[in-house]
Amino acid sequence: MSSPVTADVRLAPSLLQRLTARAHAPVDIASLAAFRVVFGLVMFGGIVRFLFTGWIDAMYGQPRFFFHYPGFAWVEPWSVTGMYVHYGVLAGLALAIAAGAWHRVVTPLFVLGFAYTQLVDVTNYLNHHYLVVLLGGLLAVLPAHRAWSFDAWRDPSSRRDVVPAWTVWLLRFQVGVVYVFAGLAKAQPDWLLHAQPLNVWMSARTDTPLVGPWLDERWLAYAMSWGGFLFDTTIVVWLSWRRTRLPAFLVLAGFHAITGYFFNIGMFPLIMTSSALVFFSVSWPRRVLAALGWQRVATSPSAAQPAPPVAGPVLTAALALHVIVQVALPLRHHVYPGAVAWNEDGMRFAWQVMVREKHGSVTYVVRFPDGRRLEVPPRRYLTARQEREMAGQPDLILQLARHIERELRAAGHGDVAVHVETRVSLNGRAPAPMIDPEVDLTGVCDLGPRTWVMPAPAEPPIHLRARP
């Protein structure tokens, strides 16, 4: 008779083997191919919109100073004309992704080109731009071009009707990560107990037709805060359950339409709504095509066709590492002391979506060796957009301080000290100092806890009301 220990040892490999078998089981490629098409078309629309808004000059032409990510100080923008060409090429690559043309070359080029536009300046960071890089990177290594594509037409031998199930699981995981961690980020007092920063944003939209007067009501801010929290933390479950999938998707589409209308969040609602289609049955595109009368294209695959061998040991290890990183990055702020919405330590790449509203003022104070004192306003170096972004982000304040030091040293002023006077409002609170004014930022190393950042204000945020 086997012992319980022996039974446990036998059970674990059995579960792992069954999970592995399910992950490699052949499934319809239709969902994966449709995801590629939709992703490419959404990217094309977003980039064309960007080309005609004037943002290229504002983001790449007007600034005289650019904030860099660690290790990427060498990344500089093209000229304004060059950036227009760059985005034009990205639009063309996005269409090629949708068409499935030269997928293994086009998709990595798009990802690298899009990532470059973000690396130029940290103030360009948006959560959905980061998501575009992640989804594009996954598409680059997945066999999404083996059906309904130019590549499959050009080389019929590469065509496949089925793919391993894990290829669809991986995209579902990536989209699910955004919702789950965006929901967990809202599990904090400002969002749930004080309805902030939604109250700040809604009270500024009371001129909205029809619903404007309601946007100043306290109950509505709380309802939307709790609704957003419950939506983000549970929507993946409802999308994953067949019986609730369709109503959950309709709720999702409505939710993103409303947030896109009321808040300035760019392409995020469209990207998330279109990406959520990956949770539907892997054959949903065939049913849609059949309903449209395209029966030949909608023909179901042969269940006997084996899935193509697309994942070798190197790719498997790389994708496993990707999954680990995507879970670890949003959690890293828990190992740092202080409030992440205040010190920003672990804020980026963590799906801290819509959880903080900051307004601030920053003045640099240079102290010379001979005792002289010079106040330096950030607008001497930054555009208004850059200054707004920098005012609430300590690492960007530090970057500009070091630039000021280098500039003064180059002018022959010797060992100068650069301090900063800050007043920052978080989620409607009264402005408070964010950076210790006694700290010389030229000697600060931004590794480990940001002890040079003052503690977050302890008082709760106030409830704002629009002016009558």
pLDDT digits (tens, 9 = 90+) for 77-92: 999 999 999 999 999 9
Per-residue pLDDT of the chain (468 residues; tens, 9 = 90+): 445 545 454 555 677 788 888 888 999 999 999 999 999 999 999 999 999 998 999 999 999 999 999 999 999 999 999 999 999 999 999 999 999 999 999 999 999 999 999 999 999 999 999 999 999 999 999 999 999 999 999 999 889 999 999 999 999 999 999 999 999 999 999 999 999 999 999 988 888 888 888 888 889 999 999 999 999 999 999 999 999 999 999 999 999 999 999 888 889 999 999 999 999 999 999 999 888 888 777 676 655 555 555 567 888 899 999 999 999 999 999 999 999 999 999 999 999 999 999 999 999 999 999 999 999 999 999 999 999 999 999 999 999 999 999 999 999 998 999 999 999 999 999 999 999 999 999 999 998 889 999 999 999 988 766 555
**pLDDT at residue 3 in the model:** 53
Cis peptide bond N-terminal to 457, omega within 30:
no
Calpha distance 328→235 (Å, rounded): 21
> Which CA distances in Å does 353 have to 32, 134, 260, 343?
27, 16, 13, 16
The answer to whether the CB of 162 falls within 8 A of the CB of 26 is yes
Complete edge-to-edge strand list for the sheet that includes strand 373-376? 373-376, 358-367, 417-426
Q: What is the pLDDT of residue 313?
A: 85
Query: For residue 136, which of 47, 50, 233 has the smallest C-alpha distance?
Result: 47
Predicted pLDDT at 310: 53
- The pLDDT assigned to 214 comes to 87
DSSP 331-359: GGGGGSSS-HHHH-TT-TTTT-TT---EE
Spatial contact of 117 and 132, defined as CB atoms under 8 Å apart: no
Q: Are 421 and 401 in contact (CB under 8 A)?
A: no
**Angle of CA points 115, 150, 147, to nearest 5°:** 90
Strands 26-28 and 162-164: antiparallel
Backbone angles phi, psi at 363, to 5 degrees: -135, 125
User: What is the model's pTM?
Assistant: 0.93
Cβ contact 395:423 at 8 Å: no
pLDDT of residue 1: 47
Whole-angstrom Cα distance, residue 453 to residue 434? 6
The pLDDT value recorded for residue 12 is 57
